[in-house]
Amino acid sequence: MNKKITKKFILDNFSKDEKKSSSEKISLGYPSYGWEEVYEALESMLEMKTTMGEKVKKFEKLFAKYVGVKYALMVNSGSSANLLALSILSNPILKNKRIKEDDEIITPAITWSTTVFPIVNIHAKPVFVDVDPKTYNIDTKEIEKAITRKTKAILPVHLLGNPCKMNEIRKIARRNNLYLIEDCCEALGAKIKNKRVGSFGDLGTFSFFISHHITTMEGGMLVTNNEVYYELGKSLRAHGWSRELKNKKQIEKKYPNINSNFLFSNLGYNLRPTEIQGGFGIHQIKKLGRFLSIRKSNASFWRKNLEKFSEYIELTDTKPGHSHANMLFAIKIKKNDYFSKDELVEYLENSGIETRPVMAGNFVLQPVTDMIQFKSLGKLKNSTDIMKNSFLIGNHQNIDLNGRQYVLERITKFIKSRTSR
């Protein structure tokens, strides 16, 4: 395939809307790929190399290096990364160290469904605790209160790209001999001092959904420094077979009458990504620094210029030494006599600015919890308050100077029109 000719063809036919002014519609997310990713995908398809292979391996190595861990395993979604993490820690190979049925895993009440469901899938019990009202992240004091003899793991979520207090949480986990799994699906690039999220726990998970910091269309990644978890993850990701394992020869010797390519040594799934996704990732990870810089600039601009309305709205805090990845931008409406959250949301939507709730809100209030066994600590007052009074707007690489100015102008116009009556 002639790269020069193909590049021209792709650029000539690429989305005509790509350069459209972002002030015409401020979406919650926007695809971040360009001609390089499209070329890589075409190359894989034309060469008939579409299932997981060398491009996936290359992306895994680049990603592990970026996060600062030894191992990375690409999967087909961030949800699958969470499922794989919990499946590793509950696997019989870990014997008496594994998470067993009815064991408890502490996680924040403000979360997303596929952080919770893998806990249920392995027959463990989610224990929901409240969040810090300033950061929306899990409250470390509540973690300590929730620990019982049945607690086996802590699963914090770096919500919206804002790092949790991982040094404190890691101390709690070590003191109580608990597993620590970081849900970093919204936090790629976030750091505490010079250490990236995903490198603090036993396992970390990431998502490459179309609207996230980088995209492989769909896709996710599991990271770890533990070779046992890495080897186990390779098997569980691909049907439970042994063909990719470091010790596959030893396993094959035990079962000489079974074809080594179809020797199933564990309970597995099909969570494999494609070469197309791996090819996307190779190029996307190189662009991540620029994407993060744009998101940071947008958030800083809004934060600085919305401070004057602190009587009516509240923005989230980032702890000292923490570097925010700015997945989305959160706004909380304080109790006032002039307007409600729903009124501001309706105004922004009518102005072409998309909004959404803060993830799934207080997950305990979701009807699906009628179908699962769970515990919650206290009344989860902060989580309910955030669910009721906060919302999110988009913050991504396609929001330019005009776009972020437009968002500010709309919010400013609404608040001034309501409060000057």
Give catalytic residue positions: 212
CA distance 319 to 297: 18
Strands 151-154 and 179-183, bridge-based pairing: parallel
Instruction: State the burial class of residue 335 (Cβ atoms within 10 Å of its Cβ: 0-12, 13-18, 19+).
Output: exposed
Closest CA to 143 of 196, 151, 200: 151
**Contact between 393 and 160 (Cβ < 8 Å):** no
User: By three-state DSSP, how is residue 218 classified?
Assistant: coil
Give the H/E segment covering residue 98: none
Q: Which string of b and e fits 177-200 if b means at least 16 CB within 10 Å?
A: ebbbbbbbbbbbbbbbeeebbbbb
Contacts of 255 (CB under 8 A, 6+ apart): 263
CA angle, 271 as apex, 267 and 273 as ends, to 5°?
150
- The secondary structure of 261-293 as a DSSP string is GG-B-S---B---BHHHHHHHHHHHHHHHHHHH
Closest CA to 261 of 281, 238, 283: 238
Q: Which tokens in the block code for residue 99?
A: 């998470």
Q: What one-letter code names the amino acid at 368?
A: V
Count of alpha carbons within 13 angstroms of residue 321, beta-carbon side:
9
Helix, strand, coil percentages, rounded to 5, for the chain: 45, 15, 40
Closest CA to 39 of 242, 214, 256, 279: 279
Number of H helices, E strands in the chain: 13, 15
**Contact between 213 and 292 (Cβ < 8 Å):** yes
